[in-house]
Every structure is written in structure tokens, then in C-alpha cells.
Amino acid sequence: MDFLYRRSYRGPIKAVILDWAGTAVDYGSFAPTAVFLRLFESQGVSITAEDARSGMGLMKKDHLRTILSRPTVAQAWEAARGLPHTEADLDHLFDNFIPMQRLALEEYAEPIPGLLEAIAELRSRGIKIGSTTGYLRSMMEVLAPKAKEKGYAPDCTVCSDEVPAGRPLPWMCYQNAIQLGVYPMAAMVKVGDTLVDVEEGLNSGMWTVGLSLTGNLLGLSAAQVQALSPQERDIQKQKIAAQFFQTGAHDVIDGIWDLPKAVEKIQERLARGEQP
């Protein structure tokens, strides 16, 4: 055979798939962090915010497993409890985490500034809005109605306990595509504030956009970000962007307010024949 032909999608972007905490709501992604800190404290184990943020974006049981596997946390657990942690300990922590997280979520449903305007702009272009999350469906039953009261309601939400496995595997994105009725995957953009968000999108065959200022990698509130000097803000943005690009992100923006422009850039790349 002298030639090999392959199809190349050059049509419009049809959907964006957003993460929740740190991307669409909860500037700084504080809801999981605060609960993990309280959870370990209740077991007599002291962990840091950095420990709590490790594994952010994963299904929450996998997130817990990541925290426990950190050497400093493993040592603190053994010092406090007398034995290394076991799978039974993980199950016990997860069982306690679920109601604690549900109780906290109502406090963290505020849309990130610029979200509602960005969503309106994208919808005016005929783009559908999906979402994936490391939260369980029982947690989203608390968060989603509160976010809707504040004006944010994506067309589709798929939770990590509704598919065979959460991020970085692609199943939640595929389920979004099915529920939204959108294909091919190259017509979709995955947007998130964690590296596993980008991995999830890449594994799904989608375009990916990382967020530098509003999410877990920076881990600051809007007020704290505003208090940074322009120079310090730029340093942090460059550091986070480097992590995203090394993971394979196609673009990195400050926050969700810049998403319409990022989608325009991806649309131009599609028109030139580029693929995710």
C-alpha cells in the first residue's frame, strides 16, 4: 500500500467539559482541602494543606489513598496510631469523609467570577456544557442545587462513582459525550485546575485547557491572589503553566473567564488541521 488515509475533524467545537471545584465553583478548591484536614485531625493525625491537596482531582477514595501514601503522612499515622495504615483504615476514613464533605459543600458553591458570563458566551455559539468531578453523586446532590441557585447549571454532570473508574481514566468524559450527544472527541474541550484533569482529557482524545489562578495548584482564595504583587502572580502563573504544559495541556489560562478566547484559539487550530 502506497498511501494511508485518515479522517481529520475540522468542524466546530461542540462542547466543553468543566471540572467543578477550583474550575467552576469554589475559588482555590478549598472544600476538599478543609474536610481532609478535619478528617485526619479527628483521627489524631496532623497533615498539612499540601498533603490534603495531593491527589486533588482524583475520585475521593483515590485521593485519600494518595494522602495516606505520602511518607510524612504515613509516618504521622504510625506515630499516632501505633501501626501502619491498612486498607481497613482507608475504608474507615472514606466512610467518615463522605458525610463530612456533604455537610461542607453548601459553603463552597459560589461560582468563580466570570463563570456565568463565559458559559453564556459559549452557549451563544451553540457549545454544550458538560462536567466531570472527583465528587460522588451523593456529594453533587448537595453542591449542584446550590450552584444552580447561584446561576450555574451545566447540561450534564458525571460523577466518579458513576463510571468504572475516575480520573485520569477517560470514562467520565465518554459518558459526557454520550449524554450530550456530541462526537467526535476532537470536537470537545476538557477544562480543569488539576493535572489529572488534563490527563483525563488527553486520555479521552479531547483538547485540554488548564487553569492557573483559581484552582488547586495555587490553592489561594480570590482575595489572596489579588494581594499578590504582579511579579509574584506572574511567577506563580508561569510555574503552574509549566506543570500543565509538561502534562500535555493544549492551553493554560488564568481562570474560567478566559475560556471563550481559549476555545477560539483551539477552533483555529482545528481549522488548520491540528488534532488533540
The residues annotated as belonging to the active site are: 19, 60
Look up residue 133 and give its DSSP letter: E
Using omega within 30 degrees of 0 as the cis cutoff, is the peptide bond preceding 184 cis? Answer: yes
Closest CA to 176 of 10, 56, 25, 18: 18
Amino acid in position 270: L
Using omega within 30 degrees of 0 as the cis cutoff, is the peptide bond preceding 111 cis? Answer: no
Output the DSSP codes for 49-76.
HHHHHTTTTS-HHHHHHHHHHSHHHHHH
Q: 3-state DSSP call for residue 213?
A: coil
Strand partners, 133: 159
Per the CB < 8 A criterion, the answer to whether 267 and 260 are in contact is no
Using omega within 30 degrees of 0 as the cis cutoff, is the peptide bond preceding 230 cis? Answer: no
Give the span between the Cα atoms of 233 and 212, in whole angstroms.
10
Give the span between the Cα atoms of 26 and 45, in whole angstroms.
26
